[in-house]
Chains A and B, each alone.
Chain A
Amino acid sequence: MKNAVIGNNKQKANLIVLGAVPRLLYLLQQETSSTELKTECAVVLGSLAMGTENNVKSLLDCHIIPALLQGLLSPDLKFIEACLRCLRTIFTSPVTPEELLYTDATVIPHLMALLSRSRYTQEYICQIFSHCCKGPDHQTILFNHGAVQNIAHLLTSLSYKVRMQALKCFSVLAFENPQVSMTLVNVLVDGELLPQIFVKMLQRDKPIEMQLTSAKCLTYMCRAGAIRTDDNCIVLKTLPCLVRMCSKERLLEERVEGAETLAYLIEPDVELQRIASITDHLIAMLADYFKYPSSVSAITDIKRLDHDLKHAHELRQAAFKLYASLGANDEDIRKKIIETENMMDRIVTGLSESSVKVRLAAVRCLHSLSRSVQQLRTSFQDHAVWKPLMKVLQNAPDEILVVASSMLCNLLLEFSPSKEPILESGAVELLCGLTQSENPALRVNGIWALMNMAFQAEQKIKADILRSLSTEQLFRLLSDSDLNVLMKTLGLLRNLLSTRPHIDKIMSTHGKQIMQAVTLILEGEHNIEVKEQTLCILANIADGTTAKELIMTNDDILQKIKYYMGHSHVKLQLAAMFCISNLIWNEEEGSQERQDKLRDMGIVDILHKLSQSPDTNLCDKAKTALQQYLA
């Protein structure tokens, strides 16, 4: 059987159909079978698993995994190796659920123990781990069973395969895991620290696979906070290595992985972004990612075309991701990216690609570039970026919506020329819709964009916003569990309530509710920023002509203002001070009565006290206010 099925998928399928698997498993588990027979069975099963995905499914259906795991308890090394080899093949197949490795709690410790048996057990077990470690739960299980100590010394194994699989293990263990990463930094192998060993493995004469994987390990450890971003092993080793992985000489898969890892590495650090941007003409190098499939490959070689087509999406999204990271903070880098041949066109095209991954990456890239005031005013306008963006926002999955709406916030900034056309294409409705989302990130973005939109806007827009948002929704947002949502909602209110006619107009229609909301927040348990924002809203209201009365007739509110004037926090004192100034301003109608009422409340005494304040700003404000009384 063994010889018949080797390399022959048809024969494998035939044998499976004929029911060979249960029989082989029976022989494998039978106590009376000799070890030689058991080993041969495991070898044949391993060969069957090497076939199509359907083969693997058939094997899984026959409960092959528990049988093979049971086999690992045998004392015979040859048999164990055969079982592990078969398990390796099965677990690396995409159709196998990795949970199957963790169902029996005794399996992991036993595998750890088998790691010392031979180079084959080492290779297979590491490979199983690196394929089955998905997410923090798996990482924790493996870590708690001593994966780091057991696998670390394999990095110096004489066998390349063992070294490579061990390295892969560490990359999956360290990913987004501070606990593992912090441990790895201090592990010694043969007197050398693990990071130093990783650095050696990314030397330029090592196989590309090894360079790339060790660069990943170092990247993940850095992102998990275990290595500083200004450490030489990141700045002078990992980063240049990843840039090299993006070069034209590398395979398409390597270029994708290299660009994605580099994007992840430099994402939070502007200095790394600057270094990457000047290394080996990276920005120009990435432009090449968009040239697949090339016109040449189409004609010359069908196989090549197929290969290029398969990777074209991956390449594009990887390039977008890296551009997004590169341009996240530095204005000059953004400029360089946009000046790269046809880059804006490419990104805009990317917005309407069928692949969700590419669309998401393109939106991210644009979002990153949209942080530039200059670009918002020029390239974004020239390329009418808002058009495809508005399209993306219709019925997109949440992950795209989050980024796209963040970008919309930037495009709605007061100085952005895209603001007008976006408003005209129904953005208000869309954003109000977002504020009702389950996803807090979407709610924040929705309200944030509305806030930007309301900034110094004309009356009509403000009315539109209020109408489509509805006061009920506004109040819901004011009691939102997410602090960001609350802050931006207050910001929106503040923007709505600016310039006197707008204040009076809005307060005349929604005054009661707004005053209620303000009272509620000032009474609630909120942090300083929230209270300050709320007091600013009150100050804005106090600037209105008719709106003033809503405060003056509300003793409760007046008492609160008085309270905050004497608050220990200067910011709040200042904000309350603004309210008072607006209320007692001389030239306005009825100022005399207001001054009198406030004097009766004892405000003047407080003003006198504040005019002695060590804070010059506060002191000046108090003095100006007192002058209003003197005049």
Chain B
Amino acid sequence: MGIGLSAQGVNMNRLPGWDKHSYGYHGDDGHSFCSSGTGQPYGPTFTTGDVIGCCVNLINNTCFYTKNGHSLGIAFTDLPPNLYPTVGLQTPGEVVDANFGQHPFVFDIEDYMREWRTKIQAQIDRFPIGDREGEWQTMIQKMVSSYLVHHGYCATAEAFARSTDQTVLEELASIKNRQRIQKLVLAGRMGEAIETTQQLYPSLLERNPNLLFTLKVRQFIEMVNGTDSEVRCLGGRSPKSQDSYPVSPRPFSSPSMSPSHGLNIHNLASGKGSTAHFSGFESCSNGIISNKAHQSYCHSKHQSSNLNVPELNSINMSRSQQVNNFTSNDVDMETDHYSNGVGETSSNGFLNGSSKHDHEMEDCDTEMEVDSSQLRRQLCGGSQAAIERMIHFGRELQAMSEQLRRECGKNTANKKMLKDAFSLLAYSDPWNSPVGNQLDPIQREPVCSALNSAILVSRSQRKAAIVNLSLLGPRNPQSAKATSSCPSNGTGHTMSRTDGSIWNWILCIRHSGRLPTLAMHFKSSHYIVAFSQHGSRPALQI
């Protein structure tokens, strides 16, 4: 019997530990197997009635086992992420019980976690700061400032720098440029985003062919979605709901938060009922309408959508037609979602956006995008010309992929990315297909982050905000890699994950003095495998 960990795709017919990306502790000889057919002497043997525990420490990427509640010491170090608990049974009739924590563990895992929390807390407490007066403050201000700059909140960054007597390292214009590109990506307008990038940072994408490829694939997906500018202008109708992103940059600061945050917005966009996209509306109003107004508007709409038509019309005539199409009363919009998502971003948009910017946005965003469940989403917005354009673009993409392979060698990530994107066309309703999640606006985030990082690197800014780098250093080999390698191929996403969780975590410490992110890691990924007796046969308890 072997107990251990495996990555996805490891052969399930072999004991854990024997194959690549697989790790195990075997009961017959007590050896540990680290992706190898030959074991190392590790611990005692185990048999019927023993309770074996397996604990993965996600802070230092190590693993130790326990036998009947006694820690046997570190078995593996430098573990890769995303491992699954694995039990291999070899003898006929073997039975195991698994305990993932539904019953108390024999080993005192709580105590172990307490030790680590204390350790990390002490590490933070002992973080070296110059003794001279004010250095603490300066450092925190730098952290905040770099965070703002990194994510392109130029107005806030400017105001913050002014009030704290700091200099912003990056020119404001540059921040705004990045912000503009980010907005385009997050709005799904990839064609424009690529074009703007090429205009503003001429050699950037040439030097990063993989990044360009990633962007182009995303553009293809957005074409399918009907949101990309190239198909939008061809479409007879306005783009569909998937363009749910407010044009102002959403603070996607915290990846660990982003799923839930993103979900809110998604609900807004494609929830059960119809959803309206208000970003254009905001830029029109140019900050005149307060959050409160939004909310009351929303409430009234809830009662009767028709009532709002005149009001909307009065603001922008071009919308009226769409709003008239809007037939559903089943408007499912929660006010807190509303204020969380759109409300918050609207204030950002107001603060950050310059007037020129607003104008520009007005041009493209004046249409109010409305979707309802009654209106079926159609490929490329339903226009035949757009579909043809999309097919043509797909061919170009295929050619580009082949060329990339010739020049840079095989790239499985690229290959998979393209295959997944093309798979969308295999379904009559791509949005509800198994590969439909690609159309989700959330998927724009990693692309956006990778592009932002690449621009910053090219301008030799910090790729990650100081906040993310200074505190704990690289948390794991992955994040270390992400900071040193080219940010194409989605590694930027990995980085943003780490960045965000630390950022989030620091905020939480300030609020509650506890380390919730850390606790969450443990909760979600700690598991203990344990055996207990069942009759005379060996039994495993996980």
Chain A positions within 8 Å of B, measured between CB atoms, are: 203-205, 236-237, 240, 275, 278-281
Measured in the bound complex, the distance between the Cα atoms of B70 and A603 in whole Å is 64
Please state if A205 and B70 are interface contacts (CB–CB under 8 Å): no
User: B112 contacts which chain A residues (CB < 8 A)?
Assistant: 204
12 sampled A-B residue pairs with Cβ under 8 A: A203-B111, A203-B114, A205-B114, A205-B118, A236-B108, A240-B71, A278-B67, A278-B70, A280-B72, A280-B73, A281-B72, A281-B73
Measured in the bound complex, the distance between the Cα atoms of B69 and A205 in whole Å is 19
Majority DSSP secondary structure for residues of A touching B: helix
Task: Determine how close the nearest CB of chain A comes to the CB of B510; give it in whole angstroms.
Answer: 21
Task: Determine how close the nearest CB of chain A comes to the CB of B156; give it in whole angstroms.
Answer: 38
Report if A204-B111 is in contact (Cβ < 8 Å); known contacts: A278-B43, A278-B44, A278-B67.
yes
Report if A205-B115 is in contact (Cβ < 8 Å); known contacts: A240-B70, A280-B71, A280-B73.
yes
A-B residue pairs, 4 tightest by C-beta:
A204-B115, A281-B73, A205-B114, A205-B118
Determine whether B337 belongs to the interface, using a CB cutoff of 8 Å to chain A: no
Most buried by A among B43, B69, B73: B73
Measured in the bound complex, the distance between the Cα atoms of B114 and A205 in whole Å is 5
Measured in the bound complex, the distance between the Cα atoms of B67 and A278 in whole Å is 9
Known pairs A205-B114, A236-B69, A278-B67. 8 more at Cβ < 8 A? Answer: A204-B111, A204-B115, A205-B118, A240-B70, A240-B71, A278-B70, A280-B71, A281-B74
User: A240 contacts which chain B residues (CB < 8 A)?
Assistant: 70-71
Chain B residue nearest to A241 (CB atoms) is B111
Task: Determine how close the nearest CB of chain B comes to the CB of A232; give it in whole angstroms.
Answer: 9
Please state if A275 and B117 are interface contacts (CB–CB under 8 Å): no
Please state if A279 and B71 are interface contacts (CB–CB under 8 Å): yes
Measured in the bound complex, the distance between the Cα atoms of B72 and A279 in whole Å is 5
Measured in the bound complex, the distance between the Cα atoms of B70 and A204 in whole Å is 15
Please state if B114 and A275 are interface contacts (CB–CB under 8 Å): no
Chain A residue nearest to B121 (CB atoms) is A205
Task: Determine how close the nearest CB of chain B comes to the CB of A340; give it in whole angstroms.
Answer: 11
Task: Determine how close the nearest CB of chain B comes to the CB of A249; give it in whole angstroms.
Answer: 10
User: A237 contacts which chain B residues (CB < 8 A)?
Assistant: 108
User: B70 contacts which chain A residues (CB < 8 A)?
Assistant: 236, 240, 275, 278-279
User: A279 contacts which chain B residues (CB < 8 A)?
Assistant: 70-73
Please state if A205 and B117 are interface contacts (CB–CB under 8 Å): yes
User: A205 contacts which chain B residues (CB < 8 A)?
Assistant: 111, 114-115, 117-118
Measured in the bound complex, the distance between the Cα atoms of B416 and A576 in whole Å is 93
Q: Give a binary string over B58-86; 1 marks a CB under 8 Å from any A CB, 0 the rest.
A: 00000000010111111000000000000
Measured in the bound complex, the distance between the Cα atoms of B43 and A281 in whole Å is 8
User: B67 contacts which chain A residues (CB < 8 A)?
Assistant: 278
Task: Determine how close the nearest CB of chain A comes to the CB of B60; give it in whole angstroms.
Answer: 12
Measured in the bound complex, the distance between the Cα atoms of B72 and A278 in whole Å is 6
Task: Determine how close the nearest CB of chain A comes to the CB of B66; give it in whole angstroms.
Answer: 10
Chain A residue nearest to B111 (CB atoms) is A204
Task: Determine how close the nearest CB of chain B comes to the CB of A610; give it in whole angstroms.
Answer: 49
User: A203 contacts which chain B residues (CB < 8 A)?
Assistant: 111, 114
Task: Determine how close the nearest CB of chain A comes to the CB of B237; give it in whole angstroms.
Answer: 61
Interface residues of B in 101-138 (CB under 8 A from A): 108, 111-112, 114-115, 117-118
Interface residues of B in 16-59 (CB under 8 A from A): 43-44
Most buried by A among B43, B70, B74, B111: B70
Measured in the bound complex, the distance between the Cα atoms of B73 and A278 in whole Å is 9
Task: Determine how close the nearest CB of chain A comes to the CB of B302; give it in whole angstroms.
Answer: 50
Task: Determine how close the nearest CB of chain B comes to the CB of A337; give it in whole angstroms.
Answer: 14
Measured in the bound complex, the distance between the Cα atoms of B73 and A280 in whole Å is 4
Measured in the bound complex, the distance between the Cα atoms of B73 and A240 in whole Å is 11
Measured in the bound complex, the distance between the Cα atoms of B69 and A77 in whole Å is 50
Measured in the bound complex, the distance between the Cα atoms of B43 and A205 in whole Å is 26
Task: Determine how close the nearest CB of chain B comes to the CB of A455; give it in whole angstroms.
Answer: 37
User: A281 contacts which chain B residues (CB < 8 A)?
Assistant: 72-74
Chain A residue nearest to B119 (CB atoms) is A205
User: B43 contacts which chain A residues (CB < 8 A)?
Assistant: 278
Measured in the bound complex, the distance between the Cα atoms of B19 and A343 in whole Å is 35
Measured in the bound complex, the distance between the Cα atoms of B67 and A203 in whole Å is 20
Most buried by A among B67, B69, B72, B111: B111
Chain B residue nearest to A336 (CB atoms) is B41
Measured in the bound complex, the distance between the Cα atoms of B72 and A240 in whole Å is 10
Chain A residue nearest to B112 (CB atoms) is A204
User: B115 contacts which chain A residues (CB < 8 A)?
Assistant: 204-205
Measured in the bound complex, the distance between the Cα atoms of B64 and A281 in whole Å is 11
Chain B residue nearest to A204 (CB atoms) is B115
Measured in the bound complex, the distance between the Cα atoms of B124 and A289 in whole Å is 30
User: B108 contacts which chain A residues (CB < 8 A)?
Assistant: 236-237
